[in-house]
């Protein structure tokens, strides 16, 4: 599929803050591209608003914690309470995953392709060799300055909570 290069310019308070580069299908018009970018922006900002209103992580509980706090309950009732609490944690984690997405993730849902997903014919190809077992940073192709919606809302994302 032939793609056209799209540069999305970002500004905050009237000042330039960065670019996001993506590929759009060759047959998309300027209006279609603008509409798709606007849709992604609306979804991204709606997720930001949800993140601002998000409650803290529900506590993870164990059978022994619930059982000790509720000695009158049967084992089955304790299991049901624990399952209910674990469902709440799972639902919270699902929301955290959504809130940890970047603007590019929302552009993906509108049909854009990220530069790293485009495989153009290169004029020059260089192989830097085998570097097994080394903790390396290959670079940062992200050109936007947007943080995740949860981070915009002033919350740190604990990656351990997202597992």
Q: What is the pLDDT of residue 139?
A: 53
Q: What is the pLDDT of residue 143?
A: 42
- The answer to whether 22 and 114 are in contact (CB under 8 A) is yes
What is the strand order of the sheet 3-12 is part of? 3-12, 15-25, 113-114
In the chain (163 residues long), the average pLDDT of successive 10-residue segments reads 87 84 93 96 88 80 89 92 91 82 90 82 73 57 50 57 45
**Domain ranges, ordered by start, for the chain:** 3-121+142-158
- The answer to whether 23 and 36 are in contact (CB under 8 A) is no
Q: What is the pLDDT of residue 154?
A: 62
Q: What is the pLDDT of residue 126?
A: 80
């Amino acid at each position: 599929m032939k793609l056209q290069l799209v540069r999305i310019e970002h500004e905050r308070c009237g000042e330039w803050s960065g670019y996001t580069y993506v590929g759009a299908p060759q047959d998309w018009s300027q209006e279609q591209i603008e509409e798709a970018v606007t849709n992604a922006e609306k979804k991204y900002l709606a997720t930001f608003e949800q993140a601002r209103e998000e409650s803290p992580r529900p506590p993870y509980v164990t059978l022994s914690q619930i059982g000790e706090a509720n000695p009158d309950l049967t084992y089955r009732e304790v299991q049901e309470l624990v399952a209910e609490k674990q469902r709440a944690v799972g639902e919270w984690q699902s929301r955290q995953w959504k809130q940890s997405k970047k603007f590019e993730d929302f552009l993906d849902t509108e049909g854009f392709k990220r530069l790293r997903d485009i495989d153009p014919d290169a004029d020059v190809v260089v192989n830097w060799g085998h570097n097994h077992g080394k903790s390396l940073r290959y670079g940062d192709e992200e050109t936007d300055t947007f943080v995740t919606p949860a981070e915009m809302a002033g919350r740190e994302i604990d990656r351990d909570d997202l597992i």
